[in-house]
Amino acid sequence: MATLQTLPEATQLLPAAPAAGSANLAARSFVYAVFKHKRLVLGVFLLVFLASAVVGLIRPTTWRATSEVLVKIGETLTLTPTEAPSHSYFQPLTPEAITTEGEIVKSRQVIEEAARRLGVQPEPGTSFAQMIDGMQLALTVAPTPSSNTLQISYIGRSPEKAARMVNAITEVYLEHHNEAYRNDQGLHSLYRQQLRLLEGQMKEAQHRLRAYLQKVHVTDVDQEIRIVNQDAIEQEKTLAAHRAKMRGAEKKLAALRALIEKTPPQIPFSEEYLSNPSVLQLKQRLTDLQIDRTKLLEQYLPTDRHVQQDDEQIAQLEQQIKREQEHILNKRTMQESEVHRELLRNAYTIEAQLADLREREPAVARGLEEMRERLRVLRDARFTINNLKQDADEKAYAFDLYWRKQEEARISQQLKNTNMVNVSVVQWAEPPTQPVNGLLLPLLLGLVGGLGLAAGLAVAIEYVSRRLRFEEEVERYLELPVLAVIPDLETVPAPARA
């Protein structure tokens, strides 16, 4: 059952000010629309927030590296009358100068040269020109407020690569800036062309020297000659000692063989001797003749023929007895000579040593010959190496001399160009520690965008609906005051419905 609720006085129903009533109505309508379509608002908010979070997570991280360059306008001389001294001052950095330097930094030639120096290659499916176009978009040049410095920034996917790229672009920019503002390039160009020619000659001479060193397998020819010469001397000593050892072994073997020939292989172990019967018979006959001679001397003189015959027979018997041995060998036992056997063993040992020395002698001699050949090759190559090294040193000295001359010409030219725009690096880029596109910004955008889009959809739906929701809308539409309000019984508490 509906209850009739009386409203306040008419004077209280009218708003104090139309603007305040409109603002209150708009706020109530906004809150009503949001809470009425709270599921839609929550769903749209979550959808937008999650989409922003996913995009923030999956998108590639980019890093911004920045270098600072000081741009100084040339010195300007101001002439004053004779009673006042003249003075010079540096002009402030103008927008035209900033634009000019920015165009030089972002020029295609500067970026291409920096990419070639770093060896940057385009990704598969893209050309080098497309890569340069992308690098131009990633490069920004902006002046630092209230200063004469320019900030050169480059955005990349790696902090180290971004820092290297912006430093390379800055270095190339300095070179191109000097070339762009240089008014006399004749002497510098002459030195540069000569340096290019001398650099080629120097590299060619160094290449010939390295190729020849690789061909002869030499690193330091003097050191290797000294080492090989010492090795050859040691090898000669070794070969001489080896051959002397062979000669000594041969002489020792010959002496042993002579001793072996003189030494009998067997010697008597025991001997048994008997008296010689012939000697006994001869002595018996000699005794008989001496007795017979004695008897003849009793009858004859010593000069008698009979006595002399006995003397002759006695002398012959004595001679024959002297020739005969008193004892003759009856039995003899033989055994092997220990000396002969020891001599044979020593001879066999020396023969084995000599055979070993003779087998090793060709290898030792061959090693010595190889060292001598290597020494001859090194000595012959030393002259060629010295000539090639002298040529390379002369080319390097000429290159260094011209490089110094070029630096002197460049410094002189810089002094002449002091009235031009001068550029110097204040700070080289360092790898950044924080990425440009962090996760916080997508989350904040998702939060604000989700809330705004969800509330906007709810308000739009309520705006399209033509129903009257509040007493103020009824009064505004009918231009009559509201006397009573019948509440919705489904939303009124149970005590109020009773």
Alpha helices in 263-337 (DSSP H): 277-299, 305-323
Q: What is the pLDDT along the chain (498 residues), one digit of tens a residue?
A: 333 333 344 334 344 444 455 666 567 667 767 776 777 778 887 888 787 777 766 666 777 888 888 877 655 444 444 444 544 445 566 777 777 888 888 888 888 888 888 888 888 888 888 888 888 888 888 888 777 788 888 888 888 888 888 888 888 888 877 776 655 455 666 777 777 888 888 888 888 888 888 888 777 778 888 888 888 888 888 888 888 988 888 898 888 888 888 888 877 766 666 666 777 787 888 888 888 888 888 787 888 887 788 888 888 888 887 877 666 655 667 677 788 888 888 888 988 888 888 888 888 888 888 888 888 888 888 888 888 888 888 888 888 888 887 777 777 666 555 545 677 787 888 888 777 666 666 777 777 877 777 777 777 776 666 565 556 666 666 666 766 666 665 554 555 444
Neighbours of 289 (CB within 10 A): 19
Q: What angle do CA 207, 213, 215 make, to 5 degrees?
A: 100
> Reduced to 3 states, what is the DSSP secondary structure of residue 170?
helix
What is the distance of C-alpha 271 from the center of its chain?
A: 93
3-state helix, strand, coil in the chain (%, to 5): 65, 10, 20
> Reduced to 3 states, what is the DSSP secondary structure of residue 119?
coil
Contact 446, 51 (CB under 8 A): yes
> Reduced to 3 states, what is the DSSP secondary structure of residue 125?
coil
- Across 417-494, where does the E strand assignment appear? 422-427, 484-485
Burial of 196 (0-12, 13-18, 19+ CB in 10 A): exposed
Neighbours of 399 (CB within 10 A): 19
- Across 315-411, where does the E strand assignment appear? 327-336
Check residue 133 and give its pLDDT: 85
Burial of 176 (0-12, 13-18, 19+ CB in 10 A): middle
CA atoms lying within 13 Å on the CB side of residue 88: 8
Cα separations in angstroms, 434 against 62, 64, 72, 133: 9, 8, 31, 25
Cα 322 to Cα 279: distance, rounded to the nearest angstrom: 9
